[in-house]
Amino acid sequence: MTFSIVIFDPNQEAWGVGVASKYLAAGAVVPWAKPGVGAIATQAFANTRYGPEGLSLLEKYDAKEVVMRLVEADSNREVRQLGVVDSKGNAYAFTGKKCHEYAGHIIGNNYSVQGNILAGEEVLEAMAKVAESRGPIQRKILDALRVGESKGGDRRGRQSAAILIVKESDAETGPMAVGRYVDLRVDDHENPLQRLGELLDLWESTFMRDELVEVKRFESEIRDALVRLGFKDLRSWVEINNFESNFTGDKIGIGALEKLLGRKIDLEKE
């Protein structure tokens, strides 16, 4: 009922899971991750015990051993689907013989993609290509889900999507819970990946250092937007929207500016 990706980024030392499904709140069931340990996606007729038990096993064993131990102990294994990536990026997956077609998985270097009730194998093939590309882990996960959907995704339709990324606690984890880097969910939406992308844009504008542009360059448009929104000055709008990390007074982050103006900005064309 779902397609997902589990992935390790050795450069960011981050582990992540992305999921999309025609199922209510898939993000509450499928993704599990622990910094320094690994990431798990449990789906199909999901066994939620695979999450906590799998993370505990990943403290001792590699991804393949964890998958084998989990499914061998499960009498209903043939209706389960599971993808795991361990602390070193080793990945492994399992697709039960009774999962609804099309069901399958692709295991690669530092990742696994898996899905069931899919339009076809091309969904996973496209996702795997994105997983092997370059870019920040949060964007690779979102792009993998988007390309999977573009190939037909869950053949029943769409309803929910989520991204969970963990990494060792540092300055970049910001206000999130210890080790939790990105934790975004869309539980019920007509276009969940579009909404998830909007949330990720907002997350990056709020918590990541963005490219700054001169306020003067957009002065009149900023003034009009502030009047329309009922703010007396730009700093007041920045503070109420939590964009302080991307505002210096005379410069503002592109992401924050796009939210204020309600449009995308191409600096080469402005």
pLDDT in tens, 93-138: 999 999 999 999 999 999 999 999 999 999 999 999 999 999 999 9
- Asked if the model's pLDDT at residue 253 lies above 80, the reply is yes
135: phi > 0 → left, psi -120 to 50 → alpha, else beta; which? left
179 with 228, same domain? Answer: no
DSSP 260: H
User: How many structural domains does the chain have?
Assistant: 2
199 with 254, same domain? Answer: no
145 with 220, same domain? Answer: no
Q: What is the pLDDT of residue 210?
A: 87
For residue 104, give both structure tokens: 């399958």
Whether 163 maps to a domain, the answer reads yes
227 with 124, same domain? Answer: no
Task: Select from 160, 183, 206 the last residue of a domain.
Answer: 206
- The contacts of residue 263 (CB under 8 Å, 6+ apart) are none
Whether 137 maps to a domain, the answer reads yes
144 with 248, same domain? Answer: no
Cα–Cα distance, 136 to 154 (Å, whole number): 25
195 with 216, same domain? Answer: no
Q: Taking residues 217-221, what's their average pLDDT? A: 96
Of the pLDDT bands very low, low, confident and very high (cuts 50, 70, 90), residue 168 is confident
Whether 89 maps to a domain, the answer reads yes
Q: Roughly how many angstroms between the first and final C-alpha of the chain, as a whole number?
A: 44
Q: What is the pLDDT of residue 80?
A: 98
Task: Select from 181, 206, 231 the last residue of a domain.
Answer: 206
User: Residue 85: which CATH number?
Assistant: 3.60.20.10
- Asked if the model's pLDDT at residue 171 lies above 90, the reply is no
Q: What is the pLDDT of residue 147?
A: 98
Whether 9 maps to a domain, the answer reads yes
- Asked if the model's pLDDT at residue 252 lies above 80, the reply is yes
149 with 82, same domain? Answer: yes
245 with 194, same domain? Answer: no
36 with 148, same domain? Answer: yes
Mean pLDDT of the chain: 94
Whether 269 maps to a domain, the answer reads no
Whether 268 maps to a domain, the answer reads no
19 with 85, same domain? Answer: yes
49 with 130, same domain? Answer: yes
- Asked if the model's pLDDT at residue 173 lies above 50, the reply is no
Whether 267 maps to a domain, the answer reads no
CA torsion sign, 47 to 183 to 18 to 38?
A: negative
Whether 201 maps to a domain, the answer reads yes
Convert the pLDDT of each residue in 13-63 to its tens digit. Answer: 999 999 999 999 999 999 999 999 999 999 999 999 999 999 999 999 999
Range of the domain at 227: 212-261
194 with 256, same domain? Answer: no
